[in-house]
A and B are shown apart, each in its own frame.
Chain A
Amino acid sequence: MKFDTVIIGGGLTGLISGIRLMQKGQKCAIISSGQSALHFFSGSFDLLNNLPDGTPVNNPEASLLELSKQAPNHPYVKMGESKFTELAQKAKSFLTEIGIKTQGCSHKNHYRITPMGMIKPTWLTMSNFAFFEVGKFPWKKAAIINIEGFLDFNPDFISEAFEKIGVETSIAYFNLPELNLIRKNPSEFRSTNLSFVLDKEVNQDLLVKILSEKSQGCELIIFPDCIGFRNADLLPGLINRLGKPIYLIPTFPPSLVGVSTQLYLKDYFTKLGGVFMLGDNATHADIEGNQVTNLYTLNHGNIPISAKNVILSSGSFFSQGLLADIKQVYEPVFDLDTDYLTDRADWYNSNLFEKQNYQQFGVKTDKNFHGIKNDTPIDNLYVAGAILSGFNPLKEGCGAGVSFLSALYVAEQILIKEKTYEPIAQYK
């Protein structure tokens, strides 16, 4: 099997770089060992919320100099301040171009509300999700409406968050008889299963009636993200009929917006002609000189995949892009050089909420994000996303940003190398 670029890992990073390369005429394949961490998506992409020392970031673009002092190996620092700013600005255009609407910008963080009722800074938020800037929330009274027995969304916590920003709230619950069928399995009373019922056309009239009654006297409805699965017209239709906005709040996983974003990006990639191989594992590769020549997978066995360039975006520990055993942290496909602390006692902090060093472990790369094996960069192997070393996605609030920007960055490196690079068009 021959491709221009083969990408290991089919999450946010793999799909963004794959789409970017396919847009420029490359023939790409993605090998994905299972579904990705996008299934835990909050509906917002974070770019940079805190510096490593804990200082909150208001303007990510203006924080790069300080970041470079505190974390010289950070992927953002590696790509350089001007490239960081350029790609962070273009990421939004890129999403708009492929049909994903977001709110927010890279020179000023806005705020989102978590399912636990925390108010957190963020970069880009999907349309219909609760989004606000401090002091600029134009509503006075909101109705938080939940489904009876749905435990992945807690109105009391959410209410506290809204009270903090000066919005008065009321809480109401409702039920649809059809939901009782899903209730038979309380452990599967989850956002994705709820959407199969709530999205049905026959239930829309009833839903409008319920939401309208339960939100009397309120200007705004706050609703868990369990409606409008893969149907972008459904929520705007409801809002139109109700005559007042509905803001979604993410729920505990599985994330409905995450699953639909994953499927949307995957469909976009395959419609451009990309080959998406789900449920397959890259196992090993032939490396000759400083080039990956053939890649082998579990399903394809003795039929190797060859490509001019390879992107490794197999994720961190969750996706098994990185593995840890008793004495080391390693990357299982190419056995690339990794950054980790040699004394295992230094990997963890016994306080779960403190900074965990293991989260900064990852694959070493050079400035152009080439993977390094035995201290030598591999010329046609690029590394991107959560598998990179040098950043702490949770403490710095930069996981999605690193995935997104490094995906665009390595795609750009490949396009420059293959002499087909053109900048992403700016959309207004």
Chain B
Amino acid sequence: MNLLLNTSENNFEQCIKCTICTVYCPVSKVNPDYPGPKHSGPDGERLRLKDPDFYDESLKYCINCKRCEVACPSNVKIGDIIQMARIKYSKKKPILRDVILAHTDFMGTLATPFAPIVNAMTSFKPVKSLIEPILKIDKRRSLPKYSFGTFRSWYKKVADKQKKYPTQVSYFHGCYVNYNNPQLGKDMIKVLNSLNIGIQLLEKERCCGIALISNGFIDKAKKNAKIDEAEIRKSVIDKKLPVITTSSSCTFTVRDEHSHLLGVDNSSVKDQVELATRYIYRLLSSSDTKLKFKNKPLKIAYHTPCHMAKLGWTYYSVELLKLIPNVEVTVLESNCCGIAGTFGFKKENHEVSKKIGDPLFKQIETGGFDLVATDCETCKWQIEMFTTKTCEHPLSIIANALED
């Protein structure tokens, strides 16, 4: 408690009960079992402080999108209050399905060596029907494809070449690039190499923990966060290399959730962890460096992922896309896509997940776009599943438009 400023650590008492957060909550609109951010956050906190028995398991419906915090006129950390309450008070035990969904890196390690078989199995309808009753993962859901071989194993082949560039940065690739889509990592390297910058990987990298946190594996998430923050410190402080990323959710988790929810102090390095699009934007706007493009007429819709909205960095990705000659970029009205990481995979959430995203899917289908761009991997899965459009990371689009 800061007596001079009259605020507590999780500033719940700054809430003036205006209910603006609830207006912008994507969940309370479609799921009446969720009492909404004001009620679950600052209102509930007041009661929970008196007696933890006031904790309500309906807080599990919060998808931690942070749109309540973005909307709050009083800067109350509503999303953090709700997540902290879940961490402190929830007695619900994760089921096997949650273990599988939460441990993205462990599952990736298991699946990538057998990717062709795993991918064929998980896209085969009878298999999905078998999975549904056992794992409670909705059979209508397209499951993420695994890559045959990881990004890190590919990187070993180019590591020496990368070291030759005059400027170096570290890359926190995340589970998605490592196990599902190494091509995105390769695209990012292509773009940075064209700017004469080489990429190094952190010696060790653990899953940022976003899926562990939302599925209740807090100890494991803390362990990962400590390893990641130590690795980031090695890069930023010892080697003087900033860390760049390609996933808005990993970035947000590493920068904000590690300290806010897991108590891992990252204050000395936080500012040196950023999305590659932001890093490139700064480079281009503060020097004569230029990206050299082919002519690539495209009509692109940019979807702002929730955590990107929270980071406030949409501008950088959009401005970079606009550099491609004859590209028309439309920033879609900010709306959660509904997948919320692992939330949308769960059988009990399938309908809600689709309903949350419907306004977004409608915008995408009616806008006459060639493709959708977004900085989040799970948004990509959701958009590709519920619309007819392909969804790509801005850096993949940029890499494809570079002069050969």
Contact = CB atoms under 8 A, between A and B. Distances in A.
Given A190-B19, A270-B331, A281 B71 contact: no
Contacts of A36: 73
B9 to A, nearest CB: 18
A301 B271 contact: yes
For the complex of A and B, list the 4 residue pairs with the smallest distance between their C-beta atoms, beginning with the closest: A299-B312, A279-B70, A34-B73, A181-B32
Contact of B35 (A34, A188, A279): A188
A303 B282 contact: yes
B315 to A, nearest CB: 6
Interface in A120-151: none
Interface residues of A, number: 39
Given A34-B20, A39-B23, A254-B19, A319 B73 contact: yes
Residues of B in contact with A, size category: 35 or more
A33 B73 contact: yes
15 contacts: A1-B285, A33-B75, A34-B72, A35-B73, A181-B32, A184-B32, A185-B28, A187-B39, A188-B39, A193-B22, A193-B28, A196-B29, A254-B22, A278-B309, A318-B16
A281 to B, nearest CB: 7
B19 A279 contact: no
Interface of A: 1, 33-37, 39-40, 181-182, 184-185, 187-188, 190, 192-193, 196, 253-254, 259, 267, 270, 275, 277-281, 297-303, 318-320
Given A190-B22, A302-B271, A303-B282, A185 B32 contact: yes
Contacts of A253: 18-19
B312 A188 contact: no
B1 to A, nearest CB: 16
B279 to A, nearest CB: 10
Nearest to A275: B315
Nearest to B313: A299
Contacts of A193: 22, 28-29
B278 A34 contact: no
**Which secondary structure characterizes the binding site on chain A?**
loop
A303 B39 CA distance: 36
Contacts of A320: 73-75
Contacts, number: 97
B73 A318 contact: yes
A185 B22 CA distance: 12
Contacts of A275: 315
B203 interface: no
A218 B265 CA distance: 66
Contact of B20 (A1, A35, A181, A270): A35
B310 interface: yes
Interface string B276-316: 00100110010000000000000000000000011111010
Contacts of B271: 301-302
B94 to A, nearest CB: 26
A129 B70 CA distance: 30
Contacts of A182: 32
B370 interface: no
B176 interface: no
Interface of B: 16, 18-20, 22-24, 28-29, 32-33, 35-36, 38-39, 43, 69-75, 271, 278, 281-282, 285, 309-313, 315, 331, 333-334
Contacts of B73: 33-37, 39, 318-320
A1 B319 CA distance: 10
A34 B281 CA distance: 25
B31 to A, nearest CB: 9
Contact of B311 (A1, A34, A190, A299): A299
Contacts of A37: 73
Nearest to B69: A279
B45 to A, nearest CB: 15
Contact of A34 (B36, B74, B310, B313): B74
A240 B209 CA distance: 55
A188 B17 CA distance: 11
A39 B70 CA distance: 15
Contacts of A267: 333
A185 B39 contact: yes
A253 B309 CA distance: 25
A69 to B, nearest CB: 36
A225 to B, nearest CB: 14
B253 to A, nearest CB: 16
Contact of B23 (A259, A281, A319): A259
Contacts of A190: 19, 22
A187 B47 CA distance: 15
A254 B69 contact: no
Nearest to A297: B312
Given A299-B311, A299-B312, A254 B39 contact: no
